[in-house]
């Protein structure tokens, strides 16, 4: 058995809809975490022109600014704008909801922030049912 000292801080959440995707974010986000997430999203875009996305943020400890400012991160975010239909964020730091509200008028996707205790409501808003693990 291999023990990982640095497990990934972004984990995919299996959903019941082929074009609905979820991620859980915990801890301190690094460049490899972000690259992994955008890689998974790129694969989703190959299968579906438009997707719905839920990001569940628990115990967020920040991110590496160098990762956030990398060219590949900006490219991944720009590409997401073309493919994400609905984007739900659950939890996160206090600035997350106001930041989404600020950018909402400038983006074509529907976005909504939910409190950490409102995960079920966020899945309902996406019309994606519950994650597969919650069967």
- What confidence score (pLDDT) does residue 67 get? 62
Q: What fold, for 10-134?
A: Transcription Regulator spoIIAA (3.30.750)
Low-confidence spans in the chain with pLDDT less than 70: 1-7, 65-79, 133-135
- DSSP secondary structure letters along 4-57: PSS--SEEEE--SSTTEEEEEEEEEE-HHHHHHHHHHHHHHHHH-SSEEEEEEE
Q: Residue 24: its pLDDT value, please? A: 94
At residue 3, the pLDDT reads 47
What is the per-residue burial (b if ≥16 Cβ within 10 Å, else e) of 4-37? eeeebbbeebebeeebbbbbbbbbebbeebbbbb
Structure confidence at residue 63 (pLDDT): 78
Q: Coil, strand, or helix at residue 59?
A: strand
Q: How far apart are the first and last CA of the chain?
A: 28
Given a contact cutoff of 8 angstroms between Cβ atoms, the answer to whether 59 and 25 are in contact is no
Task: Say what the pLDDT of residue 135 is.
Answer: 46
Q: Where are the domains of the chain?
A: 10-134
| CA trace torsion 43, 47, 51, 54 (10° rounding) | -40
């Amino acid at each position: 058995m291999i023990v990982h000292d640095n497990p990934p801080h972004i984990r995919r959440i299996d959903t019941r809809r082929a074009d609905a995707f979820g991620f859980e974010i915990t801890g301190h986000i690094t460049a490899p975490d972000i690259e992994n997430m955008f890689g998974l999203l790129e694969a989703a875009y190959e299968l579906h022109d438009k997707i719905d996305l839920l990001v569940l943020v628990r115990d967020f400890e920040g991110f590496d600014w160098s990762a956030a400012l990398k060219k590949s991160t900006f490219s991944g975010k720009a590409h997401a704008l073309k493919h994400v239909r609905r984007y739900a964020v659950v939890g996160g730091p206090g600035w997350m909801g106001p930041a989404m509200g600020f950018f909402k008028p400038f983006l074509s996707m529907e976005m909504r922030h939910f409190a950490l205790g409102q995960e079920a409501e966020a899945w309902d808003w996406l019309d994606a049912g519950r994650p597969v693990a919650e069967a």
